Structure formats: C-alpha cells, structure tokens
Amino acid sequence: MRDEKASQPSSLSPHPSSRLKRLFSQLRRERRCGFIAYVTCGDPDRDTTVRIVEELERAGTDAVELGIPFSDPIADGPVIQAASQRALKRGTTIRDVFAIARAVRDRSDVPLIAFSYLNPVIRYSAERFAEEAEGAGIDSVLLTDLPVEAAPEVRGALRAHRVGGVFLLAPTSTDARIKAVNRASDDFIYYVSTTGVTGARKELDPALLSRLDEVRRKVTKPLAVGFGISEHAHYDALRDHCDAVVVGSAIVGAIADGEAAGAPARAAAVVRGILDKPPAAP
C-alpha cells in the first residue's frame, strides 16, 4: 500500500526509517530471517529498475538496497563493478536514483536503503542528498566507506531529514568498533561476512556463524549479513544467526544475463531460489 506522506514529508509524518524498524519488529515476531536485495540503479535502465524492485518484492524481498553507481567502487566485485559501469554509461545520476525511489514508493511501502560510496554524496552535498532522499521516500542510507568517526556531519544531515544511517562491521572489527557502530546505526547493522570484495561464493566462511553469534551478543540493533550469499544453503545456514541476509551479486548478475525485458523475472527467480519458494503463478 502506498505511503501517502512519503513523497511529501511534513513535521507530522513518521521517521521514514520507521518502515525498517517495523520490518525488523515483524521479523522478530515471526521468528523469520529477512531478505534484503541489492540492485544497481540504472542497470539496465531506470524504468526497468523500478520493475525489478517490484518483482523482487513479489518474490519475497523484505527491503531493497538501491545502489548508486560509482566509477570506483572499491568494495565491489566484478559483477557489481560492471553493473555500475553500464549504469554510468547510460548517464544514471543520483537524481535518477531518487526518481526510481519515488516511482517505487508510489506503489509500495517496501523499505528502501540508498547504498553508496561517500564521494558521490559529498559532491552532491550531504544536506541536499538527505533532503531529497527524504522526499523520495528513502528510509536509510548506507555509505560503505564512511567510518563512524568521520560520520557526524553526514549523520546530522540525515537525521535532520529523518533518514536513518547504516554502518558496517567486518570480521576484523574490534569490540570498540562494534560498540561505536551499534551506537551510530539507526535501523540495523550491516555485517560483512568476509574480508574482500562482494561476489557470489559457493562456501561461507567456516568461522562466520560463531562470529555472528558473538557479535549479536554485543549489539542491540538488528544484524544483516551480506557479501557472498547466493544459495538457499547459505540462507538456511544463516537464518538462525542474523536478522536478515543481503543478496547483491547473484541478483545483479542475473539482471545482466539476458535481455532487459526479462531482467525483473530473472532477479525474482534468484530470490525465490535462495528462499526456496515456488515460482510465481503465471
């Protein structure tokens, strides 16, 4: 159902990230591990991205990361790097990402997380970015290369416009880092499952499950796990050790694997496969 106030926030409208808070509360009640899907906006084009998000939600996705294409995505593997390059060649901008968010919000209340590197946001202006993100119905922002220590200015702009912030933890994070990220993250914490870049993997890190259990004991915010998750066996292994999984490269790779017209269906098939859900009725 459409959130009538999402595109025109007022002083009386709820914090946009309350959609994420409601989601994680619902997941806890249902004792279910959530599914967050990543897409690179503008790949293959803006309108198709909107349809992809719609089909991802129909397939069982609980929230969507809208990836802002960037020319130097140092944390991304070859699949998402290539998607960013294709989107940039088509001229995709931050304004296009906000247009995609508005189009999704006209049809859906699915939580939306803007996923970016810091450079595009700084060039755009953090204040302007936060204001337009709120107007587009974006719930939260994850800046992959923004450490907590350098975040006050950006966090201040986001919070002034009722947009949440998400920060990262990794296998190498110290107890001090875990505490700082727990304090700074508004809606959930993104745990990077392994050191290195994004990309679908056959096997999860053998130490991941015990490390997740350890981290969960030290944080109060929901924990979502990403990097490398691409199969139902991964989801099945993780479901009792985190609040949600994040799947990116497997979806982005499927989107690129064929004609643009079939991209929404291919993306949805990845979600159904990982969740082990039957295909949608024709």
Catalytic residues: 65, 76
Give the 3-state secondary structure of residue 39. strand
Give the 3-state secondary structure of residue 95. helix
Six-digit token string for 225: 């796990």
Phi, psi of 13 (to 5 degrees): -75, 150
What's the CA gap between 23 and 20, in Å, rounded? Answer: 5
What's the CA gap between 51 and 193, in Å, rounded? Answer: 29
Q: Are 254 and 266 in contact (CB under 8 A)?
A: yes
Q: Residue 152 class from Cβ within 10 Å (0-12 exposed, 13-18 middle, 19+ buried)?
A: exposed
Helix extents (H) in the chain:
18-30, 46-59, 78-89, 94-105, 118-124, 126-136, 152-160, 175-184, 208-218, 232-238, 249-256, 263-275
